Amino acid sequence: MSAVDRTRQTHGTLISDAHRIAWYFLSATGQVRDTYKDQVLLSQIIIALAGRGVIHRIRLANVAIAEFGRQAPIARYARAPDDLLATGQS
């Protein structure tokens, strides 16, 4: 196995572990509502953080949890005006 392959495998394991840790915490504390959208948001956050150089899985999970807390309410309630009309909400 080449060094590049080991790095990719390690990076994949890092992201997978951090996602599992963060998802467990968010589920246990009731912060997860829409499973699919929340999974996608959490994945995007973790991948972005890993891309910026966060390489410790616990730190990555903790920062992702904090960022999820900031972004999730915005992502949940940001709807197109047509969606609001269709549901009768204002």
- The reported pLDDT for the residue numbered 76 is 61
Residue 86 lies in a domain: no
Residue 62 belongs to what domain range? 3-79
Residue 45 lies in a domain: yes
Residue 16 lies in a domain: yes
Whether residue 63 is predicted with pLDDT greater than 90 in this model: the reply is yes
- Please give the tally of structural domains in the chain: 1
Residue 70 lies in a domain: yes
- pLDDT, tens digit, for every residue of 9-47? 567 899 999 999 999 999 999 998 878 999 999 999 999
Residue 53 lies in a domain: yes
Residue (of 39, 26, 34, 22) closest to 79 by Cα position: 34
Residue 72 lies in a domain: yes
Residue 87 lies in a domain: no
Residue 84 lies in a domain: no
Give dist(CA 78, CA 34) in Å, integer.
Answer: 14
